[in-house]
Amino acid sequence: MRPPQLPKGIAMKTLLLTVGLVLGSVGSPGYARAAAEPEVEDLPQITITDPNRDLFRLALPTAVGETALAAMATDIERRDLDLVGLFRVLNPESFPDSLIKEGLGFSSDLWSQVGAQGVAKLRATRDAGRVLLEGRLYQIGRGESPVLTKTYRGAELRPLVHQWANDVIAQFTGLRGVFGSRIAFAMTGRTAEIATIGMDGQEMKVVTQMKSECLLPAMSPSGGQIAFNSFLRGGADLWVVSARGGRARRISARPGMNTGPAWLRSDTLVATLSYDGNPDLYKLSATDGKIITRLTRSPAADLSASLSPGGAQIAFVSDRQGTPQIYLMSAAGGGAKRLTFQGSYNQTPRFCPRKETPLIAFTGRDERGVFDVFLYDLRTGKIDRVTQGQGSNYDPAWSPDGRLLVYASSRGGLFVRNLQTLKEFRIYKGGARNPSWGPPPADFK
């Protein structure tokens, strides 16, 4: 991706750093350099294990009911419960006819013979013009009665199956899944617009019609708006558009950079501005772009902000000690502390949304010049590697429940990975950068 030419070398340098392109040099005209980068350690490597060894074995027989509707329900259910990475979904070809013909009934002994530890069953029909979905979840060793029985009604099948999958996940983990949430991302290639897609890789929607390069989308806390950058008017301006699509409105067009938006609240953004000649972080009104307060005053580039759960802290990227590293400061500004000392090029920090899991995901470049996704533990300072040996992977974003990461890859598209099992799925095959995962569905608890 080649960004449009900007009037200042510093603006171009900041843009490249923000979107995660490899720089041969961090120098630029008029840029005040900080002290030389101290020696850093290499980023860690993954020790290969068998993450699927102990996964719960779940059988998902073909749904019953109206033929076409049941077939669709089966496909959605199997993809959801496979994609979440918590289960080993058994091959339905191994199920004998006697089990296939059970309907919503259940024989614990017979299902245990095919290796199942749990069985989830669906019936999909129509009732008075609406879809009716009935679900039964059985667990081997818990008798012949279901451990979970649910009935859902609605205008469309997919959201109902997502609700069922979320309930099945809650039954085994105590926390509902987040199927039904959506991911915003920047399309790359001939069409460089902002789009959204369901976390299951379905129902993609292009939400901007800028006909100009767009990047760095950020979903609002409610999921109703997306802040992003566009070069429609020639500069790196900040825009906001409805997540449903429509006419975008420009909220900041100051000279230089207006980039890297992150939502502090539904009415407040944190972004990088360089109108006074240096890229620093500011709080802005999400309505009209009015500056609320300046957060950093550094001769280096400060950008790529991420807000902690509750909004008390900001993680960001700065090269104030020579190369891009992750820093942490109060959301009120000041007192920035450097976090990363492993790796010489770290960027795109993103806080885990669960307060009880104080992790920051980020992109790091290893000693081979490959970009991968890493986790920084705020309690211990330890860095763990998430991706390895599969091209370059970058721009991580967390699912609302903190179980999954989505990231872009040089393999093409967007990938989702379960951090516990390391199971990975591609949910989008086109050119993509900068994913931003929206809030959980309304029924999330």
Q: How confident is the model at residue 43 (pLDDT cuts 50, 70, 90)?
A: low
Contacts with 2 (C-beta within 8 Å, 6 or more apart), sequence order:
none
Beta pairing class for 118-127 and 214-219: unpaired
Residue 158 lies in a domain: yes
Domain boundary among 124, 149, 173: 173
Within a domain: residue 45? Answer: no
251 & 361 share domain: yes
Give 256-294 pLDDT, tens digit per residue.
999 999 999 999 999 999 999 999 999 999 999 999 999
Helices (runs of H) and strands (runs of E) counted in the chain? 5, 30
Please tell me whether residues 150 and 274 are part of one structural domain.
no
Q: 173, 190, 215: which is the final residue of a domain?
A: 173
Q: Is 19 a member of any domain?
A: no
Q: Based on the domain organization, do 250 and 359 belong to the same domain? A: yes
Is 21 inside any structural domain? no
Helix locations, 174-309, DSSP H: none
Residues 101 and 227 in one domain: no
Do 185 and 169 reside in the same domain of the chain? no
Residue 393 has pLDDT above 60, yes or no: yes
- Assess whether 70 and 214 both reside in one domain: no
For the chain, the helix, strand and coil percentages under 3-state DSSP, each to the nearest 5 = 15, 40, 50
Q: Look at residue 36 and tell me whether its pLDDT is greater than 50.
A: no
Could you tell me if 158 and 210 lie in one domain? Answer: no
Residue 99's CATH number? 3.40.50.10070
pLDDT band at 235 (very low <50, low <70, confident <90, very high): confident
State what percent of residues in the chain have pLDDT above 70.
88
Query: For residue 25, is pLDDT > 90?
Result: no
Judge if 169 and 77 occupy the same domain: yes
Q: Any idea what DSSP says for residue 36?
A: P
CB 359 within 8 A of CB 352: yes
- Output b/e per residue, 407-435; b: 16+ Cβ within 10 A: bbbeeeebbbbbbebbbbbebbeebbbbb
Mean pLDDT, the chain, integer? 88
Whole-angstrom CA distances from 441 to 4, 72, 222, 262, 319 are 37, 21, 10, 20, 37
pLDDT-derived band at 233 (thresholds 50, 70, 90) equals confident
Q: Same structural domain for residues 401 and 285?
A: yes
Across the beta sheet with 424-428, the strand order is 393-398, 404-409, 414-418, 424-428
pLDDT one-digit tens code per residue, 221-231: 999 999 999 99
CA atoms within 13 A on the CB side of 367: 8
Whether 38 is covered by a domain: the verdict is: no
The count of domains in the chain is: 2
Rg over alpha carbons for the chain, rounded to the nearest Å, is 23
**Tokens coding 382:** 């330890």
List the beta strands (DSSP E) in 157-275: 182-187, 194-198, 205-206, 214-219, 225-230, 237-242, 249-252, 258-265, 268-273
**Co-location of 218 and 297 in the same domain:** yes
Q: How does residue 13 score in pLDDT terms, banded at 50, 70 and 90?
A: very low
**Maximum distance among all Cα pairs of the chain, rounded to whole angstroms:** 76
CA dihedral 402, 418, 375, 269 (to 10 degrees): -40
* CB contact at 8 A, 162 and 155: no
Cα–Cα distance for residue pair 134/163, rounded to 1 Å:
11
The phi and psi torsions of 273 (rounded to 5 degrees) equal -120, 145
| 62 within a domain of the structure (yes/no) | yes
- In this structure, is residue 95 part of a structural domain? yes
- If asked whether residues 112 and 188 sit together in one domain, one would say no
Residues 112 and 215 in one domain: no
Which of 173, 194, 214 represents a domain boundary (last residue)? 173
Q: What is the CATH number of the domain that holds 284?
A: 2.120.10.30
Domain span including residue 79: 56-173
Record the pTM: 0.89
Average pLDDT (421-436) is 94
List, for residues 155-214, the tens digit of each pLDDT value.
Answer: 999 999 999 999 999 999 999 999 999 999 999 988 899 999 999 999 999 999 999 999
Residue 368 lies in a domain: yes
The Cα 121–Cα 104 span in angstroms is 6
